Amino acid sequence: MRVINFESLKLQERPHARGGIFRHYELLSGTDGAPDNFYLQLSVLSGDFISPRHRHNFDQVRFQLEGSFDFASDGRMDPGSIAYFPEGTRYGPQKALSATSATLVLQFGGASGNGYMSEAQFQKGLAEMKKGPGTFANGIYTREKPGGGKINQDAYEAVWEYVNGRELVYPKERYSNAVFMTPENFDWIQDGPGTASKLMGIFSERGSRLLFHRVGANAKLALEDSSLYFVCSGKGDVGGKAWSPRTTMHLERGERGELRASERSEILQMGLPRFSEASAERAAA
């Protein structure tokens, strides 16, 4: 089990393919090439952030900690809200409604088995493409069209095709819209001594899921494999390591664990999709 305490991290600024300045805390990442590869970060954005309407060939979860964002007809995210953005489903445009914001962002390989291009691969491809001849602006990559004119393309899509050397073929939509959720409107359901949970949803045939756990003082919570945990509030210990607000934990497939809360705590669980070896090979073919 990996346990990352937020206090040990540094705020970084890095290049990206959207509009505005992008700062983030890098939390956890998965295994390159695996169908459930993932990248978990805490994004800190300014009011100049903007992203055009687009789609991904991977799944995404956003948990809003500070500030607000508008996603046009899809919805709005305010502090405490959470949303699931399925692969192949268009959403946005997105724009910041606050001068500053903080958002927990998980990007991971979706049910189709397309996987997730690693952050290192993306950054390398982006840096090379920024040398020209095309240009990036506000989430769009523009290049000259043979014979005259211009071709505009989603920036992430352009980088993906550059890195992989082939056209990006999006998975067919499983969901026609992104799913925006308001956790405070869900009821806590007691599920153990001193523990309760709010199930936000189970998504796709691979069983990706989102739920919040409430753990009372001195109570224990069994941790599931193939899951990421983010501490919203409270303190405790797990495997001899202390945790506090914004600590993250990752349990790989087949791994188990148990945490103990020293005070009343709330924790978000993000369960990754589950692939058998056979289904992963079929999806990748």
What's the confidence (pLDDT) of residue 51? Answer: 87
Verify that 107 and 201 share a domain, yes or no: no
Mean pLDDT of all residues belonging to the chain? 93
What's the confidence (pLDDT) of residue 277? Answer: 59
Verify that 212 and 258 share a domain, yes or no: yes
Does residue 282 surpass a pLDDT of 70?
Answer: no
Reported as a single tens digit per residue, the pLDDT across 101-131 is 999 999 999 999 999 998 889 999 999 999 9
User: From the CB of residue 206, how many other CB atoms can be counted at a distance below 10 Å?
Assistant: 23
Does residue 42 surpass a pLDDT of 50?
Answer: yes
What's the confidence (pLDDT) of residue 145? Answer: 86
CATH number at residue 24: 2.60.120.10
User: From the CB of residue 284, how many other CB atoms can be counted at a distance below 10 Å?
Assistant: 13
In residues, how long is the chain? 285
Q: Is residue 200 part of a domain?
A: yes
Tell me the pLDDT band of 278, cut-offs 50, 70 and 90.
Answer: very low
Verify that 137 and 195 share a domain, yes or no: no
What angle is formed at CA 90 by the lines to CA 154 and CA 282, rounded to 5 degrees? 90
What's the confidence (pLDDT) of residue 88? Answer: 97
Domain enclosing residue 152, as ranges: 119-164
Does residue 15 surpass a pLDDT of 90?
Answer: no
Which region among 13-22, 24-33, 113-122, 241-250 has the lowest average model confidence (pLDDT)?
13-22
Residue that is last in its domain, among 97, 116, 135 = 116
